[in-house]
């Protein structure tokens, strides 16, 4: 795990420096002397390898460095403030996406090739075609501007979470529904399902107690990356709803050449993926007895 993080950080560090421009380039040109003062103040005048060594040394001591653009905060302070917000929104979106997706998928499998299956399939297809970039403006227009029911952005109350969470989770509901439908259908064709049906087990009991646990394995393998993406924040949703999570830092930090901020965000994202994948692997052990820990 540590090796993976080190490799990702190293690649990110040097890729960022390859990009043209620097943190102090803007429409107000500064003189060479002023730029030199800035570079010295942030130790950006040191040789690149020395900067890399200093960054790793700081990282080992829990210091993520200063932000070059948000000068009154350290990177750690910014991430510390933004991460709980991203976790909250991502966590709610993930819970809704997994539970609703599973429910829809199981229902579609239960009613396969019937009208309900076709109707839900239509909903799922629409969901997949509605990334936050499209869903967010539509939802705001309808629920905030036209109806005036929900806030258009900000984070002042639980109500402010409704539209961002919906924008974020709709495509994931669809993806989980698709996955769980096909896994359930596959499990329904297994001999154990046929045996259960022959023994007279009811349809819903068969689905929930026999089919779903077996169908969960492929679904869970998607939970890891989906969770990391949702929990680490979404740039589009954050910008559109003015939510101060950390997803914004990936893109804006990169555009601003705020090297340390991007590195901090990448560190959080990488660590999240690794931890979540590990947790999913542990869940596999519990759900599927055929899988063993070596």
Partner 1 sequence: MNRTFITLVATLAVAIGVSLDAAPEHDTLNIGNSAEPGTLDPHRYFANAEEHILKDLFVGLTTMSADGEIQPGVAESWTVSDDGLQWRFALNQSASWSDGQPLTSEDFVFGLRRHQDPKTASPLAHFLYCVKNAEAINHGNLPPHELGIVAQDRHTLVIELEQPFPFLLERLLYPIAYPIPKHAVDKYGDAWVKAENWVSNGAYVLNEWRPREYVELRRNEQFLYADDTAISKVRYYPFQEPSTAYNRFVSGDMDIIQGYPHALVRKVSQERPNEVRNAPLQSMMYLVINTRIMPFDDVRVREALATAIYRERITNQILGVGELPSATLSPPIVAGHRSVGPNHEPSTSRAKALLAEAGFNNDQPLDVTLRYISSEENKRVYIAIAAMWKDAGINVTLHHTNLATHFSDLQNGDFQVAQAGWFGENNPEHYIELLWSKIGPANYGRYESQRFDALFEKARETADLQTRLAELAEAEEVALQEFPVIPLYVTMTLNLVKPHVGGWKTNGRNLHPVRFMNWIGSP
Q: Which residues bind partner 1 (CB under 8 A)?
A: 19-34, 37-38, 40-42, 69-73, 77-78, 81-82, 137, 140, 144-145, 148-155, 157, 159, 239-242, 244, 248, 252, 255-257
CB of 100 to partner 1, least distance (A): 16
> To which residue do tokens 């460095």 refer?
65
CB of 29 to partner 1, least distance (A): 4
DSSP states of 105-120: HHHHHHTTTSHHHHHH
Hey, what are 289's tokens? 């007895």
Of residues 206 and 254, the one with the C-beta less far from partner 1: 254
DSSP states of 235-276: HHHHHHTT---SHHHHHHHHHTT-HHHHHHHHHHHHHHHHHH
Tell me the C-alpha distance between 18 and 12, whole Å: 10
- What residues pair up with 74 in beta bridges, in sequence order? 66
Of residues 20 and 191, the one with the C-beta less far from partner 1: 20
Of residues 147 and 198, the one with the C-beta less far from partner 1: 147
CB of 92 to partner 1, least distance (A): 15
CB of 251 to partner 1, least distance (A): 10
Of residues 70 and 197, the one with the C-beta less far from partner 1: 70
Tell me the C-alpha distance between 151 and 20, whole Å: 39
CB of 163 to partner 1, least distance (A): 11
Of residues 74 and 214, the one with the C-beta less far from partner 1: 74
DSSP states of 128-170: HT--HHHHHHHHIIIIIIIS--S-SS--SSGGGGHHHHHHHHH
């Amino acid at each position: 795990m540590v090796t993976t993080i080190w490799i990702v950080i190293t690649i990110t560090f040097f890729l960022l420096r390859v990009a043209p421009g620097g943190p102090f380039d803007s429409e107000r040109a500064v003189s060479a002397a002023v730029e030199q003062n800035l570079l010295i103040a942030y130790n950006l005048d040191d040789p690149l390898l020395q900067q890399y060594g200093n960054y790793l040394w700081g990282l080992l001591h829990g210091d993520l460095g200063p932000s070059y653009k948000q000068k009154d905060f350290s990177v750690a302070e910014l991430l510390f403030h933004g991460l709980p917000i991203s976790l909250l929104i991502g966590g709610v979106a993930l819970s809704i996406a997994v539970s609703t997706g599973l429910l829809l998928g199981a229902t579609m499998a239960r009613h396969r090739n019937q009208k309900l299956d076709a109707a839900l399939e239509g909903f799922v297809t629409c969901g997949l075609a509605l990334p936050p970039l499209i869903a967010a403006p539509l939802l705001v227009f309808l629920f905030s501007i036209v109806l005036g029911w929900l806030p258009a952005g900000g984070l002042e109350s639980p109500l402010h979470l409704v539209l961002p969470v919906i924008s974020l989770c709709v495509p994931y509901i669809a993806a989980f529904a698709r996955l769980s439908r096909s896994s359930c259908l596959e499990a329904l064709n297994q001999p154990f399902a046929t045996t259960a049906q022959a023994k007279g087990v009811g349809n819903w009991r068969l689905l929930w107690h026999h089919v779903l646990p077996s169908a969960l394995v492929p679904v869970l393998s998607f939970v890891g990356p989906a969770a990391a993406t949702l929990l680490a924040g979404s740039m589009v949703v954050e910008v559109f709803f003015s939510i101060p999570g950390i997803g914004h830092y990936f893109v804006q930090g990169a555009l601003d050449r705020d090297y340390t901020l991007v590195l901090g965000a990448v560190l959080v994202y990488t660590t999240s993926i690794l931890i979540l994948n590990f947790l999913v692997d542990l869940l596999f052990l519990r759900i599927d007895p055929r899988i063993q820990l070596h």
